[in-house]
Amino acid sequence: MKVWVSLALLVAFLPLGQRFALRSAEKSGEAAEIRASYRRPATIPFPDDNPYSAAKAGLGQMLFFDPLLSRSRTVSCATCHNPSLSWGDGLARAIGENPKGLPLRSPSLIDVAFSEPLGWDGKFSDIESVTFGPITGRANMNLTEAELIDRLSAAPAYGDAFASAFGDSAITRPRIEAALATFERTIVAGESPFDRWIMGDDAAISAPAKRGFEIFNGKGRCSSCHSGPSFTDGSFQDIGTATDDDVGRGRLFPTSQKLRYAFKTPTLRDVARRAPYMHDGSVATVEQVIELYDKGGIDRPSRSPSIRPLYLTADEKSDLIAFLQTLTASSPTAPFPDVPGQRAP
C-alpha cells in the first residue's frame, strides 16, 4: 500500500533551510510557468474553410489599403486601422464618412487572429463576418455591396488578383471577406522587450518592470482578463465604467445580468502608444486607466468579480506602468508571414 503525504505536511517537518529552499524552488517554478504562458505562439490559426495563401493575403492587403472601398473614395480600412498607429487610429471615437464619428473607438487589429469573436460587444463570430459591417455602415465607409463589386470588377488589377487568389477572376462578397480576413490574420505583434525577457534575456526589461509583472499577475489582478500571449482572454467584462444605454454585450443578451455593460477585453500589446483607452476612448492615459482600476469602478451586479478596489501604492502603480511599457514592440507590427500558418520571427 502506498501512502500519499501532503507536500505542505512534509515541508513542515523539514529543517528551516531546506523548507526555504523548497519554497523558493516552488516559487521559481511557478514564476517560470507564468512567464511561459505569455510566450508568443509559433503559428497563426487559419480556418479550414479559408486557409492561408500568399496570393489571398496579397489581395487582402490591396483591399485593406484601398479607399475605393468607401463611397467617397477617401476612407480605407487603414483609416481606422493604421499600421503606424499600432493598427488603431489614435482617436477617442472612429471617424468614417460621417464627420460626426462613430460611437466607439477603433480597436487595434494586433493579434486579431487569436481573439474571435470580434467587436466590442462580440457581435461578429469571426474576421470574415466583420468585413461588410464597416464597408456598408452609413457612418463608416457607406458603400453598398453591389457598388463595391462593380468598382472592383472595373479595375483590371483586381481581376488578376482575384484570379491568382481563387483560380478565376469572379469577384464576390465571400471572396472579398476571405481575402481581407486572410490578410488581417497576418497582423501580429512585433517583438517587444517583454518577449525578449521571457525568452531568457534578463536585461531586456528593468527591475521596476519585473516588479510590475508580479503586480500584474498578483495584487493588480490584471491577468484575470489580460492573459496569454496577446494579453487578452477574449472575454467580455463589465469593469464598472459604462452607464445608461451603453450596455455593450448586454444588447445582444438583454436577459443576462452579467453581460450588461460588458465589453471585450482588448489586447495590451503596444498599449503604451495606443491612447486613448476604453471602448469609448474616455480615458486619456495609461496612468488614468490604472487609477480607474485601482478605484474599482461602479459597484453593481454586472461588475466583474475581478474588479474591486486594489489599494495600490504609488510605487506599485509606477512599477505596473513600467511593465506595461515593455509590451511596446520596436516596430508597430511584425513583418507579414510568407509561409502558411507561420508567424514572423
279 marked among binding-site residues: no
Nine-digit cell at 5?
503525504
Cβ neighbours of residue 64 closer than 8 Å, sequence gap 6 or more: 76, 77, 78, 81, 180, 183, 184
Q: Report, in this order, helix, strand and coil percent for the chain, each rounded to 5.
A: 40, 5, 55
DSSP 257-304: STTTTBEEPPP-TTGGGS-SBSTTS-B-SHHHHHHHHHHT---STTB-
Q: How far apart are CA 151 and CA 69, in angstroms?
A: 8
Under DSSP, is residue 236 helix (H, G, I), strand (E, B) or coil?
Answer: strand
225 marked among binding-site residues: yes
Closest by CA position to 268, among listed 277, 259, 260, 280: 277
Contact 204, 21 (CB under 8 A): no
81 marked among binding-site residues: yes
Q: Which amino acid is at 291?
A: E
Q: Which amino acid is at 81?
A: H
Q: How far apart are CA 56 and CA 176, in angstroms?
A: 10
Closest by CA position to 112, among listed 273, 250, 269: 269
Give strand pairing partners of 303.
Answer: 238
Q: How far apart are CA 31 and CA 26, in angstroms?
A: 9
Place of cell 476612407: 75
Q: How far apart are CA 274 and CA 85, in angstroms?
A: 7
Q: Which residues are annotated as a binding site?
A: 77, 80-81, 222, 225-226
Q: Which residues are annotated as a binding site for heme c?
A: 77, 80-81, 222, 225-226
